[in-house]
Amino acid sequence: MSRTPLKTSIATVCLAGDLREKLAAISAAGFDGIEIFEQDFIAFEHGAREVARMAADQGLEITLFQPFRDFEGLPEPLRARAFDRAERKFDLMERMGCDLVLICSSVHPESLGGIDRMADDFAELGERAAARGLRVGFEALAWGRHVNDHRDAWEVVRRADHPAVGLIVDSFHTLGRGIDPDTIRRIPGDRIFFVQLADAPKIDMDLLYWSRHFRCMPGEGDLDVTGFMRAVAATGYKGPLSLEVFNDQFRGGSPRTIAVDGRRSLLHLMDQVARLEPEIAIAPPPMPPRIHARGVGFVEFAADEREAESLGALLRAMGFRREGRHVSKAVDLWRQGEARVVVNTDRDGFAGASHIAHGLNVCDLGLAVDDAQATVERARALGAATFAQAVGPGELDIPAIRGVGGGVLHFIDRSSGLAKVWETEFRPVEDDAPATPAGLTGVDHVAQTMNYEEMLTWSLFYLSLFEVEKQPMVDVVDPGGLVRSQAIEAEDGALRLTLNGAETHRTFAGRFIADSFGSSVQHVAFASTDLLATAEALAQNGFAPLPMPDNYYEDLAARFALDDAYVARLRAANILYDQDAGGRFLQLYSRPFGDGIFFEIVERQGAYAGYGGPNAPFRVAAQARLMGPPGLPRDARSPMDDQTGTRKGGRP
């Protein structure tokens, strides 16, 4: 079966800015076409021919003009007036160089309905459109007065029986009403003139309000857009796939960022559909399948010499051993179990620039994957920016891309020499002050902090690149406001990430973003198989945990049926506790350092599925107390040396 190359489009209503800014952003993101939303055109200072010229200059086809409202089923004289309005829009379309208009099902209070009446209206309109070389597409609005189901809209189109009249289907209008998308499979693909796509979080609210404020890109919400598109693809449809997303955040966001997200969502969607529906008529760009990540291979800090010394003392107190020095750079490797922390004080290269921009920060994450090169290839196909810097003596050229907050993601696989990076790039060293190992086995998860409006961007980034799924959003109550947290994890738990979106800089997470000038990784959680034993080893090493109030443990004893002696042990070690139907979860935190970075150590017992969400408000309050009020000078905050108890002048 021959395939037609995927043609991507997006409605101008999806983006912020004026029409000129929108076209530039859409073109830069790599789209093939645009839907001109009527309101955007009316607000523009130039006419239709100038819009056509601007689109052509940007290499964009105008795929659709929309919307034309309240057309079908009207009594006279309203019916005649509707046809007059349509003729005026046809004039406009001719000047604009667009041959297809979207007519959404009527909500007019005087609309009479009736399938045959509406079909007659469309048959006549089809004749008028065809005389001009134009087409009309009928779409069922989910809140339409008489037609609110694509099956009814199709019946109108079928009975109109005119080659210039076709169906337009929209994933939100079908899925938002809970209509089975497989019913689309029975519609001939050549009678579907256009496909619009949008996702949305599942919210029980008025359909119109939900649609106008909460739509998002495919893959960012909870609707089965993949199932919808599989059904459309099965019809043999070969036309454009276009985004129509109404979202309050997007209207205030960067048009270039939103456009890049939109195209990434379409490419990821069609890649998934092509793997599930191999006979589809549309051919998405070839790319490797989603990547299986085997976990976090390393966490790299950019630091100056003083910060590196203090960070090394903290790592040693946590049971890490300094076991390697880079062959050509000022970079140290610390290790415990499979947990590796790299501390980079080199003034040149990316880490040096990252330190200038953010201060002490996690500048790089290394992920273990099945195929490093395939990971970069898929990322590139999805519009991610690749990363490269000069390879020094004794260094390997490790594939990498740009990640959250300007950071870097490096990829290490088992099938090439990249797996030997530690033996190749680092010389063994004898730790001059080895501490007692604390039983840390690896990295459980990495938490990335960002402004709330960035969360959809980065969740889509990870979901489209890796074999991971998102978990339900959790609200974390901070003394300074609300933080939204969403976990993204692989089915086998090898890769776990939490994305934390701050809505205000008054929160602990928001202060971290502001003080670190947009650094992303706020904390790294290491895994232990026996956290109580780990806590004992940490105490021997002089580690100072985040102090938790007695009130927490009194409440803990009331919430869970725990032995008093067990609660006393948790209290003595400042360990937090949670449980669900699958098992238990224990957490222990370092004190915050730098601009609010911290470490966590966790123990998962049984099939516990979460991240200790119920404990987050108490943890955040304890951290905020140590950090002091917003605006406190960095020098006056809890010193990093307090992490090990080696300095007595800091806050208790």
- CA-angle at 163, arms to 226 and 177, nearest 5°: 35
Reported as type and span, the H/E element at residue 189 is none
CB neighbours of residue 1 within 10 Å: 7
Reported as type and span, the H/E element at residue 51 is helix 48-57
Rounded Cα–Cα distance for residues 217 and 543 (Å): 45
173 is in an annotated binding site: no
DSSP state letter for 582:
S
Reported as type and span, the H/E element at residue 526 is strand 521-528
Per the CB < 8 A criterion, the answer to whether 401 and 373 are in contact is: no
170 is in an annotated binding site: yes
CA dist 156 → 108, 145, 235, 516 (Å):
17, 14, 18, 58
Helix (H, G, I), strand (E, B) or coil at 418: helix
Reported as type and span, the H/E element at residue 79 is helix 78-96
Question: Which token pair is 344?
Answer: 């980079």
Rounded Cα–Cα distance for residues 208 and 369 (Å): 43
Helix (H, G, I), strand (E, B) or coil at 248: helix
Question: Which token pair is 159?
Answer: 């009975």
587 is in an annotated binding site: no
Helix (H, G, I), strand (E, B) or coil at 33: strand
- Nearest CA-CA partner of 183 in 235, 142, 221: 235
Per the CB < 8 A criterion, the answer to whether 142 and 211 are in contact is: yes
Sequence-ordered list of residues with C-beta below 8 angstroms from that of 397, at least 6 positions apart, any chain: 388, 391
108 is in an annotated binding site: no
Per the CB < 8 A criterion, the answer to whether 290 and 332 are in contact is: no
Rounded Cα–Cα distance for residues 80 and 75 (Å): 9
DSSP characters over 157-171? HHHH--TTEEEEEEH
- Nearest CA-CA partner of 181 in 162, 195, 164: 195
Sequence-ordered list of residues with C-beta below 8 angstroms from that of 435, at least 6 positions apart, any chain: 316, 317, 319, 320, 321, 541
Q: What are phi and psi of 629, to 5 degrees?
A: -70, 155
Rounded Cα–Cα distance for residues 53 and 97 (Å): 9
CA dist 549 → 554, 571, 574 (Å):
9, 9, 9
Helix (H, G, I), strand (E, B) or coil at 448: strand
Mark 285-314 as b/e (b = at least 16 C-beta within 10 Å). Answer: eebbebbbbbbbbbbbbbbeeebbebbbbb
Sequence-ordered list of residues with C-beta below 8 angstroms from that of 413, at least 6 positions apart, any chain: 368, 369, 370, 371, 372, 373, 419
Rounded Cα–Cα distance for residues 367 and 382 (Å): 18
The number of CA neighbours under 13 Å toward the Cβ of 624 is 20
Per the CB < 8 A criterion, the answer to whether 166 and 191 are in contact is: yes
Give the position of tokens 């966490």: 299
196 is in an annotated binding site: yes
Per the CB < 8 A criterion, the answer to whether 450 and 499 are in contact is: yes
Rounded Cα–Cα distance for residues 562 and 584 (Å): 12
- Nearest CA-CA partner of 253 in 406, 5, 25: 25
Binding-site residues for a divalent metal cation sit at: 139, 170, 196, 244
Binding-site residues sit at: 139, 170, 196, 244, 445, 523, 600
Binding-site residues for Mg(2+) sit at: 445, 523, 600
